[in-house]
Amino acid sequence: MKQSRAPQIAALVLAAGQSRRMGDDNKLLLQIDGKPMISHVVEAALASQVSQTYVVTGHEADAVESVIAEVEAEVVRNPSFATGLSTSLAAGMRRILASGPFDGAIVLLGDMPGVTQDHLDRLIGSFDPARGRAICLPAFVGRRRNPVLFARRFFQEMTEIVGDVGARSLIENNEALVFEVAFDEQAIVDDIDTPDALASYRKTHTSLNRHSP
């Protein structure tokens, strides 16, 4: 059955991590194309068809929040960020559950600056729980990637996940409800965790766009 209305989708940007593999720098604050990495992700969400954007902060929260202070995103602070990724996911999902009747939520990682409005809108366009598409995710050369769009039916369970993990178990346990959206762009797999990864991304991205970072 075709959906009778456009789904109401929230975007949840996870930006609370300690970025230990980057060394002394908070990777989310490092400059890419003239702006901090986290700004690229948040701005992509805001430009997309999502109804509301939430950003979970924790490590160096004041600095991260100052970067996005001028945009219309709601900040959710996670005081337990050092315990693991699941605490940030849970904190964000609790806020989304309390905020309104969203049909789904896209979970984005703050270290994927190549994710664009188009990527997010394609996931939303594929989302249709009535047709069994309750979890929509990108696939690049056959490998599943982030960000992932989850239907509301999973929200409560996402607040109960523990450990330094995301919602991988939800995907693995609900294969019949997973819909893969094929992507051809390398950007959909570029999460930036190390100085080498950052240098490689800057080099590739600058080459593709013909301007300096």
- Tell me, yes or no, whether 1 lies in a domain: no
Evaluate if residue 208 carries a pLDDT over 60: no
User: For residue 6, what pLDDT band results from cuts at 50, 70 and 90?
Assistant: confident
What is the DSSP annotation of 144-166? E-S-EEEEGGGHHHHTS--SS--
**C-alpha atoms less than 13 angstroms from C-alpha of 7 in its C-beta half-sphere:** 28
- Tell me, yes or no, whether 58 lies in a domain: yes
- Tell me, yes or no, whether 4 lies in a domain: no
- Tell me, yes or no, whether 175 lies in a domain: yes
Environment class of 181 (CB within 10 Å of its CB; exposed 0-12, middle 13-18, buried 19+): middle
- Tell me, yes or no, whether 47 lies in a domain: yes
- What is the largest distance, in Å, between two alpha-carbon atoms of the chain? 52
Instruction: Identify the pLDDT of residue 207.
Output: 40
Evaluate if residue 19 carries a pLDDT over 80: no
Partners of residue 107 on adjacent β-strands: 12, 148
Instruction: Identify the pLDDT of residue 209.
Output: 42
Q: What is the pLDDT of residues 173-188, one digit of tens each?
A: 999 999 999 998 766 6
Q: What is the CATH number of the domain that holds 148?
A: 3.90.550.10
Which helix (H) or strand (E) is 188 found in, with range?
none
Residue-range definition of the domain harbouring residue 25: 9-208
- Tell me, yes or no, whether 3 lies in a domain: no
User: For residue 213, what pLDDT band results from cuts at 50, 70 and 90?
Assistant: very low
- Tell me, yes or no, whether 120 lies in a domain: yes
As for how many domains the chain has, the answer is: 1
